Structure 1
Amino acid sequence: MTIQEKAAQMIDNVQIITLASINEKGYPRPVPMVKLKAEFGAIYVATGTSSEKTAHFRANPKAGLSIVEGGNSIVYTGEVVIVTDEAIKRSLWSEWMSEHFPGGVEDPEYCVLKFTPISATYWIDGEFIKS
């Protein structure tokens, strides 16, 4: 199995990722988040429409994402878009989100972010690769 295949398995298995935005002073702001879905290289998370993260990504789409599982890690550099497609937002909705978004999938505070990697650094099973 290649390191990229091992990385894909890690991404499928992990529940919590760390997503970093760039704040208004130019510093990274990493935040642990629940991974909603990973598909075709993109990773989706939910946050509040009025959150700091969302404001940061509106101003600057550049992002970093890290995943740690055991002694293995993946670090991505890429960009975030704010998903406005209602069908995608509906498909990613889970009941546990009601605690954060009491208005459900139509809550105006419910916001989905889509991270797409541009480059990767893998440390998996003692193998280190940058791509």
Structure 2
Amino acid sequence: MRNFEQTVENMVEKSTNTFICYIDEDGCPVTKAMLKPREHEGVRIFYFTTNTSSNKVKCFKQNNRASIYFVNPQFFRGASLTGTMEVLETAEAKERIWQKGDEIYYPKGVTDPDYCVLKFTATKGRFYNDFHSDDFDINQ
């Protein structure tokens, strides 16, 4: 059997963006393209930066169910991970993910109140390749 987690982790490393899905206040799914995760722990935990004032943050605070999707268009492969999204606003979380140049997005620096971290924790995945999909559990 294929090691789906390793294949997906390779996709994450080579990705330039990620699609994040959340449920809006009307109960409708919304998909948002974002930059690739700043950090990840295998295919279970992912950290993203975003604006605290964004609609997705407001929605995640109301409903933390989420999915993220990575795609490799060259080989027509995709990986969907489902789980939960936490909004982290602590100094520790913000400093962990902060990178030089982020001032472009967050002019007040790492303490900018409009800067926060999204932490996604996957519980399961689905990998698509060669016109076939396989479900897989995420190792804890």
After TM superposition, the score normalised by the length of structure 2 is 0.85
Q: How many residues align?
A: 131
| Counterpart for residue 70 of structure 2 | 67
Q: Offset at 1:84?
A: 3.1
Match of 2:53 in 1: 50
- CA-based RMSD: 1.6
Kindly state the Cα deviation for residue 64 of structure 1 after the two structures are TM-superposed.
Answer: 1.4
Flag structure 2 segments of 5+ consecutive residues without an equivalent.
none
Looking at structure 2, the residues matched to 73 and 66 of structure 1 have their Cα atoms a distance apart, in angstroms, of: 7
**TM-score with structure 1 setting the length:** 0.91
State the partner residue of 1:5: 6
CA contact (8 A) 1:3 1:124 kept: no
Give, as a single letter, the amino acid of the residue that structure 2 aligns with 1:63: A
Please give the alpha-carbon distance, in whole angstroms, between the structure 2 residues aligned to 1:43 and 1:126.
27
1:52-97 superposed Cα distances (whole Å, 9 cap, x missing partner): 0100000000011111012110011110011133223212111232
Counterpart Cα distance in 2 of 1:53 and 1:77: 16
User: Where does the alignment leave 5 or more consecutive residues of structure 1 unmatched?
Assistant: none
Please state whether the residue corresponding to 1:87 is helix, strand or coil: helix
In the other structure, the counterpart of 1:38 is: 40
- 1:121 equivalent to 2:126? Answer yes
Please, which moves more after superposition, 96-105 or 57-66? Answer: 96-105
Whole-angstrom distance in 2 between the partners of 1:12 and 1:33: 15
Question: Match for residue 108 of structure 2?
Answer: 103
Listed as ranges, the matches of 1:77-92 within 5 Å are 77-92=82-97
State whether residues 73 and 122 of structure 1, in contact with CA within 8 Å, keep that contact through their aligned partners in structure 2.
Answer: yes
